[in-house]
Structure 1
Amino acid sequence: MWKPDRSSDQTLYHQIADEMERRISYGEFPPGSQLPSERKLAEQLGVNRSTVIQAYEELRALGIIESRTGSGTRVSKFKWGATPKHTPNWHRYVEGGHFLPNLPYLRRIREVLQKDPTLIDFASGELNSELSPNEEISTLMKEKKFKEYLGYDNPQGYMPLREELVSYLSRYRNIQTTDSSILITSGSQQSLYLITQCLLAPGDAVAIEDPSYIYSLPMFQSAGLRLFRLPVDEKGIRPEDIRALYKKNRIKMIFVNPNFQNPTGTLLDQERRMELLGIATELGLPIVEDDPFSLTAYDGVPPMPLKSYDQLGSVLYIGSFSKIAASGLRVGWMVAPHSVVERLADARQQMDFGLSVVPQRIAAHFLASDYFQPHLEQLRMRLQYKRDSLIDALQKELPGQVTFTIPQGGLHLWCKVIPQVNDNKLFEEAIRRGVVIAPGSVYGSDSGYVRFTFARTKEEEIAPGIAKFAEALRTVLS
């Protein structure tokens, strides 16, 4: 006899409801027939009666069964008449498909922030409006009247933006490229999605940093990729680890975030950069370099990307406006060999026929304007001030209870809680106290780490927010 699978991610009552619906649709229980009582079915399946009650409630809500006092539970005659009209089982569809939902922590973060915007947000990895060039963009939109045709654009992206990015990448990132080797995307995540879907196949092995924000992106598991870890220390990954992974698992691609890595904030050591490039070219492995934070370097000297040293075209370089201007523009880019750009542009065209011209046009004008450099300088100054405020608050509220390495750029502070603590209990207690954090386990780390993002939080909220976090930690530890 069928039994529910207790190791499944699907709840027991949903499994039972689906199985009973299947048996009814196959005619095992014809219209009007009596179903087992809740108590009897619970005994047969080895579950609590309350679980069967929930399953029957699900089927009643769909109109598949009906219950009457004294008559028990029967299959609905109306639902299964001569011309049955059966509502789709949307629950089954929602739990089907190969594209996995976001991690529970991330869904919970989104849920609580939508319900209560007064929560102090240390979890969202984006700039707040005070750090975005809102006034500058408004001025540019007034000055640069829009006259272009609002039709489908080149699937590779808006040509004036690609041309402007050629100058930007040369000036700010020491990357020499052409507009034909640039693909405009809706941000770094779309770039990664296109790579995982178009350049890799289910079962392929890839190397990623540990910890890494990639653990928070189920798109890698949805693509059927096997993830292997490259531990990150104070100098970044150890390139020699790649040899061992290649020998043992035949990895096909390396994903790295070498400049102010998310979540640790570390900077890949210069010697290790050159070693990484050498090993990758020796083994014929492509490197995907995500570089969203470099221009936030607080000393005003952004570290050069791996791509700037790439002589053989081994590095796929990903950039974005999200961490240096505004995430709402949804403008990112990828620098890659032209054949790769053509392949990914074709795939993206199948998805959405290309991005909107409007935000691409805004981005192009902003890059070319006199506003861009002053904005970067102001952004760096404000981010450094917020980082320092966060560190001061942690040292004041939790002396001796947390450790961290001070980042020299980026939006995050990676923090280790010294007393042993349960991630979920700390996370929920912090929410109850009015502050939202990102547990380190979201990024693949052990329990007891927290990523504090200080770019979204208002300056005046940082100290009160850390005080609330400290209260939550003390409550969980007591």
Structure 2
Amino acid sequence: MDSPVLVPYQSFIQVDRSSATPVYLQVAHQLINAIQRGYLMDGHKLPGSRKMGKLLGLNRNTVVASYAELDAQGWLKTHPSRGAFISNGKTGKPRKFTTKSGPPVAAYPRHPGFDFRKWNVLDNPFDHSSARLTFDDGLPDTRLSHVDYLSRLFHTNMKRRRNLAKLGYMPTAGSEYYQENLANFLNLTRGLHIARKNLLVTRSLELSIYIVAETLISPGDCVVVGELSYFATNMIFQKAGARILTVPLDAEGILTDALREHCERQPIRMLYITPHHHYPTTVALSARRRIELLELSAMFGFIILEDDYDYDFHYDGSPLLPMASADSEGMVVYVGTFGKSMASGFRSGFIVAPEALINEMAKLLGIMDRYGDVLTELALGELIAEGEMHRYLRKTTAEYRARRDRLAELLDGQLDGAVQFIKPSGGLAIWTRWPRGVNLMRFARECLTEGLCIPRFLLYQTDEHCAMRLGFGSLTADELAQAVNIMRDGLERISATLPVR
């Protein structure tokens, strides 16, 4: 048996007096760690409390408390007049304390001891920066969120006795009250004709698309997207094993003739489309092409996954109704976000589809998110029922229209015609086209030095495109002015280094 003096306790029992964990528990936990890692074996005698206290520079009573904790957990047996011995530890020859092995302090492994699948297609594309200004791809301003009103709704729902039972596990996913109100809201604003049974509520748009992909796509299936499309959705399709095909776009949206050619060459399982304002170009799909897509879907049997991610934001007249509102063949699955105009913590995703499909997707959601977010859903349900959502959207839409107009004015006035764009009829972003010779990554780095972050996922630089999607919703008029001034200066510095043609 090893002699206690040969064990360098002071090297692996390291006390942090600034920690919230009591010192006696720190000592106990590190001794347990040494036992579990094979440094202290079954039957090993620990130093007496006085001696251990002297070794560690601790009060004897602290060591006594540590030993008592080890005894209570079954790691130690104390025998009167004989001392304290490790119990329930490992038997055999103990591991040596060497510089190479290092002290057995508690440290979580950096790498697993087994092989695992790596999701290369899901690498995080988002940039994070501490810059004072940041462009995004079209997010709302959380400063305009209905926080006070929603806070009152949360507080009220928490106090209602009848809601307490709803906060636990329910046989049906989510709040039926919210589902009923959401169905009514979608029918009123989007011309749908759905009931609660046609609706599945999720926590986000991306989760909705993931559930649709996992349910409807098999490895090797062909999924068609726009030549430029939402990168997160493409990642989800690739994760599901889909083979992604693209179709070009013009001023009326995706080219239906190109889609027909794909259909005639091979079976197409799904078309993903953002018809209200195509992501990222903000082009609206024309009424004529919407009809053509529905006819092609019925003819060739492919699913239309319609994503109306920013339907609530329209400024110039009434928007075209979703394709789902005209679907008579059951070929359209409609996904979106309720509360997109509010902070992300107050939003929810949804899927609209025929009842039989909703029932199958609900099984997957039930495994992934058994409890949902009932409290938020109850508050959102009241936001709809009391008519507050409609009032809030009217108010914020006026503000976002003003911000769209301000950014368009700044781009025209400050960049001397170098940037081309068409002012969108809705949404929270403007698609801008830049001079071919501009290296957008270098331009973004120039802007970052002056406090403006332009994330790389906003940049589209290929043989065919030199463009940026600039979100205006999350920046005030003054912030937009500062951002465009930084862009102007950055463009001047970049242009000065370009070769003269």
TM exceeding 0.5: yes
What is the SS of the residue equivalent to 1:316? Answer: strand
CA distance in 2, matches of 1:467, 1:94: 50
The partner residue of 1:341 within 339, 346, 358 is 358
- Equivalent residue runs for 1:49-88 within 5 Å: 79=101
The partner residue of 1:141 within 154, 160, 175 is 154
Matched, 1:98 2:115: no
What is the letter of the counterpart of residue 460 of structure 1?
A: D
CA distance in 1, matches of 2:137, 2:252: 25
Is the Cα–Cα contact under 8 Å of residues 437 and 450 in structure 1 kept in the other structure? no
Aligned counterpart, 1:388: 405
Aligned counterpart, 2:285: 268
Is the Cα–Cα contact under 8 Å of residues 137 and 458 in structure 2 kept in the other structure? no
CA distance in 2, matches of 1:318, 1:279: 20
The partner residue of 2:135 within 122, 137, 148 is 122
TM-superposed CA distance for 1:170, in Å, is 1.4
CA distance in 2, matches of 1:77, 1:452: 55
- Max Rg structure: 2
Q: For structure 2, which runs of at least 5 residues remain unmatched after alignment? A: 1-97
CA distance in 2, matches of 1:92, 1:476: 49
Aligned counterpart, 1:198: 215
* Compared CA separation, residues 476 and 122, structure 1 to 2 (3 A): same
Aligned counterpart, 1:222: 239
What is the SS of the residue equivalent to 1:90? Answer: coil
Aligned counterpart, 1:476: 494
What is the SS of the residue equivalent to 1:164? Answer: helix
TM-superposed CA distance for 1:475, in Å, is 2.2
TM-superposed CA distance for 1:399, in Å, is 1.4
What value does the CA root-mean-square deviation take over the aligned residues?
Answer: 2.8
* Compared CA separation, residues 443 and 171, structure 1 to 2 (3 A): farther
TM-superposed CA distance for 1:217, in Å, is 5.0
Aligned counterpart, 1:65: none
CA distance in 2, matches of 1:119, 1:216: 29
CA distance in 2, matches of 1:383, 1:78: 61
What is the letter of the counterpart of residue 459 of structure 1?
A: A
Percent sequence identity is 27
Aligned counterpart, 1:313: 330
Aligned counterpart, 2:145: 132
Aligned counterpart, 2:471: 453
* Compared CA separation, residues 339 and 442, structure 1 to 2 (3 A): farther
The partner residue of 1:417 within 434, 451, 463 is 434
What is the letter of the counterpart of residue 197 of structure 2?
A: S
Matched, 1:296 2:296: no
Aligned counterpart, 2:481: 463
What is the SS of the residue equivalent to 1:301? Answer: coil
Aligned counterpart, 1:22: none
What is the letter of the counterpart of residue 129 of structure 1?
A: T
TM-superposed CA distance for 1:133, in Å, is 1.9
TM-score by length of 2: 0.72
CA distance in 2, matches of 1:390, 1:122: 12
Q: For structure 1, which runs of at least 5 residues remain unmatched after alignment? A: 1-75
How many residue pairs match? The answer is: 392
Is the Cα–Cα contact under 8 Å of residues 262 and 412 in structure 1 kept in the other structure? no
CA distance in 2, matches of 1:411, 1:430: 21
